[in-house]
């Protein structure tokens, strides 16, 4: 049936590791990964729990297609109650770790309690045990992986770990695997650190051999890979340019949030774009981009591997950063660049490497720096407080802030709390470009109305990957909708949110949805698992997951008032571009969205909706 059929339950307080059977009734109703992991968390954790207390739990979960030959079948999710937002946190990662856990014979690992001292979990197929991590505490993600592979004498080991950011309580700390793939958002790494859990090291040799109909599965996955290969986005754009293909496109349409969303176009966008990454530098004649890279089983290969200019001020005396390394993706390049008015590509790459090395989210970090720079230019923060002159556009300030946030030193401790807490402390809460405490990604909700609604209603705080309406509003996938039009967007957002929940829960990458719909996912799950997974059933599963997450957040204390956008997007019109003179039309879209969802005017699922979805 493609599920391994068992989970590991680790009690960190008691130091015990136990196997238990997967709840197959839940697996059929919530699929796997995001959906199934969230069902376990919500069933076992009080919604009002302090995210950094021992009573919170944290779950690593794979999907039924993780580890299989389905394209992009390397995904896993980390689910917990998030410290950045206080909402449900579910952060998705690629690379090879998820497939390795599945091939070791496990669908999921649940951690509860708190260890008295630093530990890591070692899994080798059926064997799993907690081990002392005193020698790993204080080490970076990169060093942790190196030490574990060396000490366990296994170069094929896969490691999911935290760096100093997770240990130091950076509220947007990430969980990083394979050196530069990350469950990046909502602070899942801070929860891991709060439990004194440093890493999970996995070796799996069993493979995934329990496919329901292997011949049918091979046939359908081959057919679906062909669709990906022939699609302009998944077959050409993403392999050639990665997600960075969007930088110039979004800037030209006037939807690139710039200088903490004061502007919607960045004059330096071309300098930090995919095209710039592929152009030889004047300084040394070499290209920033070395090659693309794929995660486990991926036929798209959108990942970037880059190499810095060794003479750049950030690394000229730091040879440890001279090698080929995980390169910039669009969201990170935007957050570290346009959000702060910085157009120095090498400085962006340096900050990005520090985010990978010490494990923190470049989106929340960069957006928080944008708020810091605005407060500095207003005279609210001083150079003495910050340790540097921090005007918009300063590559030196960006690099400095990345270093002190990674180390947890000086003002870096405040940056590590995120923009919501920082701007509130200094008396200007409206300058936090966030929803539910989580910072925006790289699209302006005034210029692209649907994504603004998606941010406001996202269950994990502002997020583009919970309903990527950019596909429709910018790229015309599956149908073209007008980005500045609000009519029809509530229904569009709901459809994208539900479909994304189903894809996330399958164990496949959401980037496949540039070419596939739920109708392409259904036959793959039918061949792998069982024939109940029709298109209609998957759409219902996605909707069920969304409503379950919403119910948890409501019980945690969130209300309709939290489905909001910052004042800037609602009252300050875009200054340039196609949306010049426009603000977000969220107030008129939100009631229609609630109605489309079957929620009451307070944003609560009605009894009829819950009955229909078997919640």
For residue 342, what are its two tokens?
Answer: 């910085």
Q: Cα(first)–Cα(last) distance of the chain, in Å? A: 24
| Confidence category of residue 326, pLDDT binned at 50, 70, 90 | very high
- Quote the CA–CA distance of 543 and 582 in Å, as a whole number: 31
Confidence of residue 209 (pLDDT cuts 50, 70, 90): confident
What number of other Cβ atoms are within 10 A of residue 190's Cβ?
A: 30
* 8 Å CB contact between 37 and 138: no
Across residues 437-461, what is the average pLDDT? Answer: 98
Residue 243 structure tokens: 């997600």
pLDDT in tens, 179-206: 999 999 999 999 999 999 999 999 999 9
In sequence order, what E strands does 143-239 have? Answer: 158-161, 175-177, 181-183, 197-203
Does 221 have pLDDT greater than 90? yes
Number of residues assigned to the chain: 615
Q: Is pLDDT at 600 greater than 90 in this prediction?
A: yes
Give the integer Cα–Cα distance in Å for 140 and 138: 7
3-class DSSP state of 61: strand
Helices (H), 253-389: 274-277, 330-336, 345-358, 362-377, 383-386
Q: State the pLDDT confidence band at 541, using cuts at 50, 70 and 90.
A: very high
**Mean of the pLDDT values across residues 103-121?**
98
Alpha carbons 588 and 604: distance in angstroms, whole number:
18
For residue 416, pLDDT over 90 is answered with yes
Mean pLDDT of the region 221-236: 98
Q: Show Cβ contacts of residue 549 under 8 Å, excluding neighbours closer than 6 positions.
A: 38, 88, 90, 459, 460
Q: Using one digit for the tens of pLDDT, what is the confidence trace for 554-596? A: 999 999 999 999 999 999 999 999 999 999 999 999 999 999 9
Half-sphere CA count of 447, side-chain side, radius 13 A? 27
Report the chain's C-alpha Rg in angstroms: 22
User: How far is the CA of 124 from the CAs of 12, 158, 552, in angstroms?
Assistant: 19, 11, 34
Per DSSP, helices labelled H in 281-411 are: 330-336, 345-358, 362-377, 383-386, 395-407
What pTM was estimated for this model as a whole?
0.98
Q: What is the structure's pLDDT at 531?
A: 87
Beta-ladder partners of 306: 289, 325
Q: Write out pLDDT tens, residues 251-310.
A: 999 999 999 999 999 999 999 999 999 999 999 999 999 999 999 999 999 999 999 999
The pLDDT tens digits of the residues spanning 9-18 come to: 999 999 999 9
Percentage of the residues of the chain whose pLDDT score is greater than 70: 100
CA–centroid distance for 87 within its chain: 15
Helix (H, G, I), strand (E, B) or coil at 606: coil
Burial letters for 589-609: b for 16+ Cβ neighbours within 10 Å, e otherwise?
bbebbbeebbbeeebbbeeeb
3-state secondary structure 496-548: HHHHHHHHHHHCCCHHHHHCCCHHHHHHHHHHHCCCCCCHHHHHHHHHHHHHH
Between CA 324 and CA 250 the distance in angstroms is 28
| CA separation, residue 569 to residues 278, 336, 458 (Å) | 34, 20, 17
Q: How confident is the model at residue 1 (pLDDT cuts 50, 70, 90)?
A: confident
CA distance 65 to 63: 5
> Torsion angle of alpha carbons 23, 26, 30, 31, nearest 10°?
40
Nearest CA among 473, 458, 446 for reference residue 546: 458
Indicate the SS3 state at residue 75: coil
* 407 vs 163: CA distance, rounded Å: 10
* Cα angle for residues 380, 386, 388 (degrees, 5° grid): 115
Q: Is the pLDDT of residue 44 over 90?
A: yes
């Amino acid at each position: 049936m493609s599920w391994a059929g068992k989970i590991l339950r680790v009690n960190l307080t008691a130091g015990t590791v136990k196997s238990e059977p997967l709840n197959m009734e839940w697996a059929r109703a919530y699929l796997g990964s995001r959906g199934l992991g969230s069902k376990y968390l919500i069933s076992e954790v009080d919604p009002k729990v302090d995210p950094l207390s021992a009573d919170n739990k944290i779950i690593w979960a794979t999907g039924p297609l993780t580890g299989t030959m389905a394209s992009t079948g390397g995904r896993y999710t980390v689910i917990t109650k998030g410290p950045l937002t206080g909402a449900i946190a579910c952060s998705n990662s690629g690379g090879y770790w998820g497939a390795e856990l599945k091939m070791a014979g496990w669908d999921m690992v649940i951690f509860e309690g708190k260890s008295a001292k630093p530990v890591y979990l070692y899994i080798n197929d059926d064997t799993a045990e907690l081990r002392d991590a005193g020698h790993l505490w204080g080490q970076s993600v990169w060093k942790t992986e190196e030490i574990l592979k060396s000490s366990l004498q296994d170069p094929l080991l896969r490691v999911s770990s935290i760096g100093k950011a997770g240990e130091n309580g950076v509220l947007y700390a990430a969980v990083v695997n394979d050196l530069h793939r990350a469950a990046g958002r909502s602070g899942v790494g801070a929860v891991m650190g709060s439990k004194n859990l440093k890493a999970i090291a996995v070796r799996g040799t069993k493979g995934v051999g329990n496919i329901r109909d292997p011949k049918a599965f091979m046939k359908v996955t081959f057919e679906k890979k062909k669709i990906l290969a022939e699609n302009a986005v998944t077959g050409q754009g993403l392999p050639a340019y990665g997600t960075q293909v969007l930088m110039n496109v979004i800037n030209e349409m006037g939807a690139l949030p710039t200088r903490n969303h004061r502007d919607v176009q960045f004059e330096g966008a071309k300098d930090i774009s995919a095209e710039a990454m592929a152009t030889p530098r004047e300084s040394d004649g070499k290209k920033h981009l070395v090659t693309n890279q794929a995660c486990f089983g991926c036929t798209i290969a959108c990942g970037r591997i880059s190499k810095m200019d060794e003479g750049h001020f950030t690394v000229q005396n730091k040879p440890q950063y001279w090698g080929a390394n995980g390169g910039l993706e669009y969201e990170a390049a935007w957050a570290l660049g346009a959000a702060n008015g910085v157009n120095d590509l090498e400085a962006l790459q340096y900050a990005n490497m520090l985010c990978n090395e010490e494990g923190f989210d470049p989106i929340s970090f960069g957006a928080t720096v944008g708020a810091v720079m605005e407060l500095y230019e207003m005279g609210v923060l001083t150079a003495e407080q910050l340790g540097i002159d921090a005007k918009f556009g300063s590559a030196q300030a960006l690099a400095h802030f990345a270093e002190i946030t990674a180390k947890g030193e000086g003002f870096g401790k405040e940056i590590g709390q995120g923009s919501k807490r920082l701007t509130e402390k200094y008396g200007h809460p409206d300058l936090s470009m966030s929803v539910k405490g989580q910072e925006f990604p790289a699209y302006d909700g005034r210029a692209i109305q649907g994504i603004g609604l998606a941010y406001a209603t996202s269950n994990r705080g502002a997020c583009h990957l919970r309903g990527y309406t950019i596909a429709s509003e910018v790229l015309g996938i599956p149908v073209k909708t007008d980005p500045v039009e609000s009519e029809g967007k509530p229904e569009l957002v709901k459809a994208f949110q539900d479909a994304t929940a189903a894809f996330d829960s399958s164990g496949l990458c959401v980037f496949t949805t540039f070419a596939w719909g739920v109708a392409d996912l259904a036959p793959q799950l039918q061949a792998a698992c069982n024939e109940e997974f029709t298109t209609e059933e998957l759409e219902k599963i996605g909707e069920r997951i969304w409503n379950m997450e919403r119910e948890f957040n409501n019980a945690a204390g969130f209300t309709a008032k939290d489905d909001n956008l910052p004042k800037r997007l609602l009252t300050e019109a875009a200054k340039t571009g196609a949306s010049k003179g426009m603000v977000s039309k969220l107030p008129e879209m939100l009631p229609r969205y609630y109605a489309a969802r079957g929620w009451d005017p307070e944003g609560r699922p009605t009894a009829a909706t819950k009955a229909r979805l078997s919640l």
